[in-house]
Amino acid sequence: MSEYIHIAKVRDWMNDRGIERGFEQNTLTRKIRHGTFKVPLIRIGNTPYFLEQELINWLKENTH
C-alpha cells in the first residue's frame, strides 16, 4: 500500500533517511508555488500530501 507523507512531516521523513537538513514546511510551500519542487501530490482540503515513492524519486533526481 502506498504511504503518503503530510507536508509538515517531510523534514522528519528526510531526517529519518539521514538527510539532516530537510525542508521546512514553509520552504516546501514556497518551492511548490515557484515550481522548483515538482513532486506529485494530493490535497485533502488545502493540505498537500506526497507519495513516499515520489519523494524518493525526487531525491534521486536532485541529489548529486
- Burial of residue 2 (number of CB atoms within 10 Å: 0-12, 13-18, 19+): exposed
- Cα-only R_g, the chain: 11
- At 1, is the pLDDT very low, low, confident or very high (cuts 50, 70, 90)? low
pLDDT for the residue 9: 92
**Domain residues of the chain, as ranges?**
4-62
- At 63, is the pLDDT very low, low, confident or very high (cuts 50, 70, 90)? confident
Bridge partners, residue 42, by sequence: 49
5-62 pLDDT, tens digit each: 999 999 999 999 898 877 888 988 998 999 988 999 999 999 999 999 999 999 899 8
Query: Taking a C-beta distance cutoff of 8 angstroms, is the pair 48, 42 a contact?
Result: yes
